Amino acid sequence: MVKEKDGATSKRKDEHIKICLENDVEYQSHNNGFQKFKLHPSTLVDLSLEQINLKTTIFEKELDFPILVSGMTGGSKLGQQYNEQIAEICQEFRIGMGVGSQRAAIENPDLIKTFEVRNIAPDIPLIANLGLPQFNKSYDVKEAIFAIEMIKADALAVHINPLQELVQLEGDKEDSHSLERLKQILPQVKYPIILKGVGTGFSRKDLQNLVNLSPYAIDVAGAGGTNWTKIEYLRNKKMEYVSEEFVEQGIATAESLQSAHSIKRPKTLKLIASGGIRTGIDAVKALALGSDYVAFALPVLKALAKGGVDELRKYISTFIFEMKTSMAMLGCENIQQLKKKGHKKIGRI
C-alpha cells in the first residue's frame, strides 16, 4: 500500500478545514444553477406545515428528511470532534451522514477512532468514504469493505476529484480519473456504493460512464458551493497567478443534476444533489428537478465552528422550515407529489 509521509494526510485535512473557515472558499462568478429557477407558489394554500411529510428511505433505512451531510472530516483530533458533533445532530433530526476520506485511518489504524460515530448515531444511514486515486494505486475490495465495516456504515462513497488532484500540491496527477479498476472492484463489494464529486460537477458523458458502474447512487456534487480549486490555490504559492476563469471552472449543480436526470439509467439509481445547496428552497428545487436527496458540507462546518451543535441545530431547523413552507405553498404534501408535479411548479427565470 502506498502511504504518504507520517501524518501528511491528517495534516492536510486539518489545513483544509482551517482554510475553509478562514477564507471565502465558495464559487464567486457562478452559483449552484438553481437560481435560474423560481418556485410558483399558490396564494391560497390549503396545507399546514404539520401535513408536510418529508420522510423517505435510503439503503432501506428511514430518513425523516431527504437530507445528508456530505463527507468532510476525520483523521485528526479536530476531525473527530466535528464528526461526533455532526453525528449527534444527524441522529436528532434522523438525517444521513457521510464521514470524510478514511485514507488516514487505513494508513494509520490509531486514527480509526476519529471516524467512529455509530455509538452516537445508532440509527442513521452512515456513509464511509474513500477516493478514486487510492483505488487506482493500490486499494482493492479489502480496503473498500474495511472502510465500511470500520465505522459500521451502510454504504461507501467513492469520491472522484481529478481537478482537485491536478491542482493540489501533493495531488495525484495520474491515478485520479480512470474508472477501470472501480469497474472490477465495485461488483465484489456487497454494500451500496455512491459515486460522488467534490464540487465541480459531472458532464453528461461522465455521468453515463458512472451509471455504467451500476452504483446505488450518484452524487453530482456540482459547482456553486465549496470550490476545491480555490482551496488548493490558497495552499499553493505556485498558483499565485492563475486566472479567475481557471479557479471558477466547473459545471453548476442544477445543470449536472438535469443531465443525470435525463440520461439513460436504471429506475432504481438514486440521485443526490449537492454542491452549493444552502437553503430549503435550493432543496425543494433540486427534488422537483429529479434528485432523491440533497446534501451539503461547508455550512455544517461553518455552523459548528461558530457555535457548536446549537448553531448546527439552528441551521438545519431553518433549512427544514424553508423546505416545509415551500412545499406547502406548492401544494405538495410529500416528496412523491413534489417529484411528480414539482417540475410544473417551478419555472426558468
Ligand X SMILES: Cc1cc2nc3c(=O)[nH]c(=O)nc-3n(C[C@H](O)[C@H](O)[C@H](O)COP(=O)(O)O)c2cc1C
- At 153, list the grid cell: 456504515
Q: Mark the segment that binds ligand X (CB under 6 A) among 111-119, 143-151, 209-217, 273-281.
A: 273-281
Question: Given the rule CB under 6 A, which of 1-9, 141-149, 275-283, 318-326 is the region that contacts ligand X?
Answer: 275-283
Among 56, 76, 226, 256, contact with ligand X (rule: CB under 6 A) = 226
- Interface with ligand X, residue 275, by CB under 6 A: yes
Rounded to whole angstroms, how far apart are CA atoms 164 and 176?
A: 9
Count of residues touching ligand X (by CB under 6 A):
25
User: Which residue in 10, 56, 70, 134 binds ligand X (CB under 6 A)?
Assistant: 70
Among positions 33, 133, 162, 276, the unique one binding ligand X when judged by CB under 6 A: 276
Among 101, 164, 291, 325, the residue binding ligand X under the rule CB under 6 A is 101
Distance of alpha carbon 173 from alpha carbon 136, whole angstroms? 12
Q: Is residue 225 close enough to count as binding ligand X by CB under 6 A?
A: yes
The whole-angstrom separation of Cα 80 and Cα 85 is 9
CA–CA dist 219, 226 (Å, integer): 15
Residue 16 sits in the site that holds ligand X (CB under 6 A): yes
Select 114 or 332, whichever has its Cβ closest to ligand X. Answer: 114
Least distance in Å: CB of 323 to ligand X?
Answer: 16
**Cβ proximity to ligand X, 161 vs 328, nearer residue:** 161
Tell me the residue number closest to ligand X, measured at CB.
225
Q: What is the dihedral of CA 347, 44, 325, 201, to 10 degrees?
A: -10
142 vs 188: CA distance, rounded Å: 10
What is the distance between the alpha carbons of residues 197 and 101, in angstroms, rounded to a whole number?
13
Distance, CA of 210 to CA of 179 (rounded, Å): 8
Place of cell 459500521: 152
